[in-house]
Amino acid sequence: MKTIDEVLEKMDEIVQECKSGDSRIGYFAILYRQVTRRIQDGIVAGEFEDNPRMERLDVLFAGRFIDAYEDYKVGNKPTESWFLAFEASKAKKHLVLQHLFLGINAHINLDLGISAADTMGKEPLEGIERDFNLINAILAELVDGVKENIAKVSPIFGLLIPLAKGRDEMLLNFSIQLARDGAWKYAGEYYECEDRAASIRERDSNIAKLASKLINPGKFLSFIIKIVGFAEWKSVVKTMDQLDVVVKKVQTI
């Protein structure tokens, strides 16, 4: 893939495959397709510091999710971070927001730093920092909008907040800003690293541990999640369709 149009065509295919296969991978795919649309709109509007470069970054960035998805689909193992997210999608017990955060965890905490460094090649990495932050701002905008409207697919999700008040739970405290800061730090480490394959393996191992915390948040919160999960829609397709409505509604430019 060389253009965002090609990325969007592929994302449309993945969304349809997830609907046909009742795959909860589709929850993240719905969100990320809208992120890609939003970035494309921003490029057309000249919103970024270097719009052709942003398209290259977006293609590389999206390509890491698409490659992971395709590897998993044919039985090859992607990075551990993505593998855990994809494996979790088989389980009915996880909340919609857990599936979304698992995808974001792998994509921001691992993929974004790699993609930023690869986009710059031998040019100074600092040159892309502003546009790097804009991608994260776009994602945060959409995620915040989904959280504010999560009752449309998870009617009693709000119960989690007061019941788990004061607990150090990654599910409730997941922060796009913290993920962004960590991703930028890693972009610098990866950019300077001579053995990039080893760097990715080490980073992936650490991010997979965060994924495990999202999947298994502890006995108390797991109990509450079970209760909240009973009220979520059971239809994967219906949930995907409603998520699509929500993310389109909160998109701004």
Sort 90 into a burial class: Cβ within 10 Å, 0-12 / 13-18 / 19+: exposed
Question: What are the structure tokens assigned to 164, written together?
Answer: 């788990």
SS3 of 50, please? coil
CA distance 240 to 153: 9
Q: Which comes out higher in pLDDT, residue 115 or 226? A: 115
Mean pLDDT of 223-249: 79
Closest to 25 in 3D by CA, of 87, 71, 77: 87
DSSP 101: H
pLDDT over 70, % of the chain: 86
Please check the confidence at residue 190 and state whether its pLDDT lies above 90.
Answer: yes
Judge contact between 85 and 28, C-beta under 8 A. yes
Q: Which residues of 146-158 are buried (b: 16+ CB within 10 A; e: fewer)?
A: beebbeebbeebe
pLDDT band per the 50, 70, 90 thresholds, residue 19:
very high
What are the pLDDT digits (tens) for 36-65? Answer: 999 999 999 999 999 999 999 999 999 999
CA distance 190 to 116: 10
CA distance 240 to 3: 25
Q: What is the DSSP track for 197-226?
A: HHHHHHHHHHHHHHHHHHH---HHHHHHHH
Please check the confidence at residue 220 and state whether its pLDDT lies above 80.
Answer: no
CA distance 135 to 124: 19
Please check the confidence at residue 87 and state whether its pLDDT lies above 50.
Answer: yes
